[in-house]
Amino acid sequence: MSTIMIFAEFTNTQLKKSTLELLTAARKSNLKIQAIAVGPGAKNMLAALGQNGVEQVFVSDSEVFARYNSEVFSNAFAEVIKAQSPKFLLASSTMMARDLFPRLAAKIKAGVVSDCTELSFSGDSAKIRKPLYSGKCSAEVQFVSSGTQIILMRSNQLPIEASQKAGAASMSEIVAPKTDLKTLVKEIVKATSNKLDLTEASIIVSGGRGMKDAENFKLLNELADTLGATVGASRAVVDAGWVPHSMQVGQTGKTVAPVLYIACGISGAIQHLAGMSGSKVIVAINKDANAPIFQKATYGIVGDVFEILPLLNAEFKKILQH
Ligand code: FAD
């Protein structure tokens, strides 16, 4: 029987939302579902994976997988994929995935398509679509090779549906490869934020050059705190050094698709739109009524961000406190 394997990502306590999206899509395929989960805490995910329709999990909670290393991950994953030969391998199109899976594809001679926005299954074949030229058009992509088909999905594009399955997943231990490493990440210094990463956030409040300077981002932080949102930015303000690159949305930043994207003082250049036009509802605040962002916006507010943001924040506070 053909199988579909999911790269399961998790936080300290639960599967990531993006993984639940992939699992929902996989359940609609009627193929046997397997998963691969690595890193400390991976074994704690077995029950949740079983409840979501996964029959077999390839797992390691070794410290070797605590930090992403392309050699370690691609060697370990290659062993699993070579042995199992799943028809499909699904993962979220994160920065890490876009590094890992092309390497893996080269090792196992598989095809890989990243940044997909649509996915459905019919029998043994997958229908996938991805945007091209910064979202100006999209293409349906077909695999022509017979090997494993690796599909990297953008998050927030697929629905999450409750699983009707209640089975337990069986566990197969992955042996961490003994690799003579060429590079080693010694330390990762995390930005101190309790906010969700932009790619995971359901609500994003984003600021552009219209915010005038870094100090004024406090208005965006205040609104984000009220809404439980994450703050993003245009490249202009990242280049100006107001905020770190990890906050940049767009062609050379992160691709996001939240339920609500509030663009404040952002003109709507094509490279910015490339990263956020998949958002469900877009609210734009700009004092220039002809700013291109209004062509993409669901709701547009023509006005000064310094007047509008405090008003919006006060209104949202009133509504959300009731
Ligand atoms: P601006 O274009 O300067 O717009 C500022 C807006 O603020 C204006 O519309 C103005 O009317 C409004 N404004 C000013 N004051 C106020 C006020 N008081 N109240 C309300 N509105 C106000 N950009 C990205 O964002 N992400 C990317 O990933 C990215 N990648 C790029 C890759 C390449 C190869 C290139 C060439 C460019 C890329 N860019 C990217 C840059 C992009 O082309 C734009 O330059 C950038 O998005 C502009 O940022 P902005 O909208 O903040 O600034």
pLDDT in tens, 58-83: 999 998 899 899 999 999 999 999 99
**pLDDT recorded at residue 132:** 86
What is the Cα–Cα distance from 67 to 55, expressed in whole angstroms?
Answer: 26
Residue with the smallest CA separation from ligand 1 atom 36 is: 271
**Is 64 touching ligand 1 by the criterion CB < 6 Å?**
no
Whether residue 91 has pLDDT greater than 90: yes
Show the CA angle centred on residue 211, arms to residues 208 and 217, nearest 5°.
95
> Taking the CA atoms of the chain, what radius of gyration do you get in angstroms?
21
Residue with the smallest CA separation from ligand 1 atom 44 is: 269
Give the pLDDT mean for 162-190.
80
In the CATH scheme, what is the code of domain 203-321? 3.40.50.1220
**pLDDT recorded at residue 186:** 77
Amino acid at 319: I
Q: Give the model confidence (pLDDT) of 109-153 as tens digits.
A: 999 999 899 999 988 889 999 988 877 789 999 998 889 999 999
**pLDDT recorded at residue 155:** 83
For the chain, the structural domain boundaries read 3-173, 203-321
- State which of 234, 245, 276, 279 you would mutate to test the pocket of ligand 1, scoring each by most atoms of that ligand within 8 A of its C-beta: 234
**Is 276 touching ligand 1 by the criterion CB < 6 Å?**
no
Strands 137-141 and 125-132: antiparallel
Q: Give the model confidence (pLDDT) of 200-251 as tens digits.
A: 888 999 999 999 999 999 999 999 999 999 999 999 999 999 999 999 999 9
Residue 183 backbone dihedrals phi, psi, to 5 degrees: -135, 155
Q: How far is the CA of 214 from the centre of ligand 1 (A)?
A: 15
By CB atoms closer than 10 A (0-12, 13-18, 19+), residue 202 is middle
Amino acid at 310: P
**pLDDT recorded at residue 95:** 84
- State which of 266, 294, 302 you would mutate to test the pocket of ligand 1, scoring each by most atoms of that ligand within 8 A of its C-beta: 266
What is the Cα–Cα distance from 297 to 282, expressed in whole angstroms?
Answer: 5
Distance of CA 37 to the CA centre of its chain: 17
Q: Which of 259, 304, 266, 235 is nearest to 157 (CA)?
A: 259
Q: How far is the CA of 11 from the centre of ligand 1 (A)?
A: 33
Q: How far is the CA of 269 from the centre of ligand 1 (A)?
A: 6
**pLDDT recorded at residue 191:** 65
By CB atoms closer than 10 A (0-12, 13-18, 19+), residue 136 is exposed
**pLDDT recorded at residue 77:** 97
**pLDDT recorded at residue 189:** 74
- State which of 267, 294, 302 you would mutate to test the pocket of ligand 1, scoring each by most atoms of that ligand within 8 A of its C-beta: 267
186: Cβ–Cβ under 8 A, 6 or more apart, which residues? none
Whether residue 94 has pLDDT greater than 90: no
Higher pLDDT, 177 or 96: 96
**Is 265 touching ligand 1 by the criterion CB < 6 Å?**
yes
Q: Which of 271, 25, 36 is nearest to 128 (CA)?
A: 25
Q: How far is the CA of 271 from the centre of ligand 1 (A)?
A: 9
In the CATH scheme, what is the code of domain 3-173? 3.40.50.620
In 147-264, the DSSP E strands lie at 149-153, 170-173, 203-207, 230-233, 260-264
**Is 206 touching ligand 1 by the criterion CB < 6 Å?**
no
Q: How far is the CA of 277 from the centre of ligand 1 (A)?
A: 15
Give the residues across from 299 on adjacent strands: 283
**pLDDT recorded at residue 257:** 84
Question: One fold for both 3-173 and 203-321?
Answer: yes
Residue with the smallest CA separation from ligand 1 atom 16 is: 210
Q: Give the model confidence (pLDDT) of 258-309 as tens digits.
A: 899 999 999 999 999 999 988 989 999 999 999 999 999 999 999 999 999 9
What's the token pair of residue 152?
A: 């990297």
Q: Give the model confidence (pLDDT) of 4-32 as tens digits.
A: 999 999 988 899 989 999 999 999 998 99
**pLDDT recorded at residue 183:** 77
Q: Which atom of ligand 1 is nearest to the CA of 249?
A: 26
Give the pLDDT mean for 143-170.
88
Higher pLDDT, 193 or 46: 46
